[in-house]
Structure 1
């Protein structure tokens, strides 16, 4: 596991849901957009295609593709044309359990070609035709209570949709989800985005199966609860906003972070494309803000997971304090 110098213990929690992000509580937010009919409109499907292999990206209008690419800030270099032969060179049998991945190259390779347990889930997702049940069958049936998180109970804040959850059967898969959160924090500064793992900022993502391809992915949402400010952010988001020190500023443009698992071929055991980890820049003069951010939440810059595909589960990385001896994955 890459060392990221995080001093406090966290738990990763997955909550099953097909509904919209918790940021929908700010659905009353609005912001004026000017749209030009002379520029083709981008769709969430276009966004996923541009991040896919050439067979997918070549189907997108070239002008749309160019503008989408201008809004991608890659946390790991984008390598859409890695071959199956190169894939074998990355030692797919590596395990997160007993290793520290310290070099940047080693960390990148864990995104491009993750451990076998992650690849198996990615293949199940595609081979099933994007069936969420393929993901659910990989879960441990044990039901676990959601722990208190950073004083949530005191504030009557409920971060998860249900008070219980589950984990994946594969502990390595659970550890990989933790790795994704920590790498986002470690690499955020490389694209000008400082992000923290706490219940006001980055603590959750949404596991999705992409429309059409069935590709496995997670849409992470940072800056979840900006602090109330009567001049800058005059919006009451409920109990979970209380105590927030997250300032509403231009960093909100970077709150949507997308991980895509490697894409398997449907006809053979080969692979179409390696994994992707990218910040989706929703700046007001960009095509993501203009065409993909819903107008009723454009002030919050929220991309919704069910616009990208089937929303399967919420993935939550929660600070539970020093009393927890290990990192845990839960599914609710």
Structure 2
């Protein structure tokens, strides 16, 4: 039987979303700031070689953007070229090294990743930003996402990935490198105020994209994906995947967008124009990222989108248009995104009730 109230509920919810967006728009229109609106391209330019920002970004906008960047790895590398003597991801990162040495090796792996990752970054640029260049680097073998063991997600009727199967990159070191990034975000997040855990409610996925203007390869990670329902702090029912969440909604939501950028290859030769970057984007309400890069309808949850061509799976933004008893989701893409989405990168604990067993699924 068709629910006769569904159109009415849809209308009411649309009205709520539009009213919220209008409210944000009106408040922004009365802002005393005379700065031009920052764009995603401005953000990427600020994280590119200094000359890129100098010629393309308003200086005041660049200063405000830089004030909202919380680097997990220093922005300027101490070593200008890849160091062939660093630790290997295949054998375990820097085992037996002193803390200071291990930290420096981790920094170097962000600035100058393994050769297979550099090759993927160059493919993205040389292909003119073609997502197929990334898809062709994937192993065709499908890997089923375990039906019951992702921290109990399936028992609560929650599907965390866009598809029930994933893949790996043909080059195993690329897979190991992306796993390394998840672990590094977890370990270094507290240094900038981001207390994050590798769990299905918090940090478990990122979106691999190719930047629109430069062709630069990047991943936009989203933490705090499913905050716990709270009548006062977070009164939003997000469906099955939210059930059991211990993630509290608070100021840390400002830091939920984490950006990794691969080194930027030169288009005119074999060299590199910029090293890799790993940075938390601070979307606090007084900052330019919140004001200009967060769409109005998701300002409450501080979501930046990675690509216009990919519709999001049910997630933190779903409450804006949450319909028909948690069964149907409509998620709107951003009007100003970072680039073209290629794949989702998921890092899931499939160990069940036993020892944690994190595995990568490219969807």
Judge same fold: TM > 0.5, yes or no.
yes
| 2:347 aligned to which of 314, 317, 323 | 317
Partner-residue secondary structure (3-state), 1:298: helix
Aligned position for 1:4: none
1:41 aligns to 2:37 (yes or no): yes
Aligned position for 1:60: 57
Alpha-carbon distance change, 279 to 27 in structure 1, aligned in 2, over 3 angstroms: farther
> 1:44 deviation in Å?
0.6
Aligned position for 2:181: 180
Q: State the alpha-carbon separation in 2 of the partners of residues 152 and 133 from structure 1.
A: 31
> 1:193 deviation in Å?
1.2
> 1:298 deviation in Å?
0.2
**Per-residue CA distance 1:224-270 (angstroms, 9 max, x = gap):** 00001111101111110000010000000000000000000000000
> 1:329 deviation in Å?
2.9
Q: How many aligned residue pairs are there?
A: 303
TM-score normalised by the chain length of structure 2: 0.79
Contact 1:122/1:215 (CA < 8 Å) preserved in 2?
A: yes
- Which piece of structure 1 moves more, 28-37 or 133-142? 28-37
1:114 aligns to 2:108 (yes or no): no
**Per-residue CA distance 1:273-296 (angstroms, 9 max, x = gap):** 000000000000000000000000
Alpha-carbon distance change, 284 to 153 in structure 1, aligned in 2, over 3 angstroms: same
Q: State the alpha-carbon separation in 2 of the partners of residues 312 and 79 from structure 1.
A: 28
Q: CA RMSD in A?
A: 2.1
Contact 2:348/2:359 (CA < 8 Å) preserved in 1?
A: no
Q: How does 1:1-332 map to 2 (within 5 A)?
A: 32=24, 33-34=27-28, 35-36=31-32, 38-58=34-54, 59-79=56-76, 86-88=80-82, 90-91=83-84, 95-101=88-94, 102=97, 103-147=102-146, 148=148, 149-306=150-307, 307-321=337-351, 328-332=359-363
Alpha-carbon distance change, 247 to 109 in structure 1, aligned in 2, over 3 angstroms: same
**Per-residue CA distance 1:83-130 (angstroms, 9 max, x = gap):** 8xx304x22786311143252111100000000110010000111111
Q: State the alpha-carbon separation in 1 of the partners of residues 172 and 357 from structure 2.
A: 11
Relative contact order (alpha carbons < 8 A, sep ≥ 6): 1 or 2 greater?
1
Structure 1: 5+ residue stretches without partners: 1-25
Q: Which has the larger radius of gyration?
A: 2
Q: State the alpha-carbon separation in 2 of the partners of residues 153 and 269 from structure 1.
A: 47
Alpha-carbon distance change, 172 to 329 in structure 1, aligned in 2, over 3 angstroms: same
- Which piece of structure 1 moves more, 225-234 or 143-152? 143-152
Q: State the alpha-carbon separation in 2 of the partners of residues 216 and 160 from structure 1.
A: 22
Q: State the alpha-carbon separation in 1 of the partners of residues 289 and 34 from structure 2.
A: 16
Contact 1:93/1:115 (CA < 8 Å) preserved in 2?
A: no
Partner-residue secondary structure (3-state), 1:310: strand
Partner-residue secondary structure (3-state), 2:208: strand
> 1:325 deviation in Å?
9.5
Structure 2: 5+ residue stretches without partners: 1-15, 308-336
Alpha-carbon distance change, 324 to 128 in structure 1, aligned in 2, over 3 angstroms: farther
Partner-residue secondary structure (3-state), 2:347: strand
Contact 1:167/1:328 (CA < 8 Å) preserved in 2?
A: no
Alpha-carbon distance change, 109 to 154 in structure 1, aligned in 2, over 3 angstroms: same
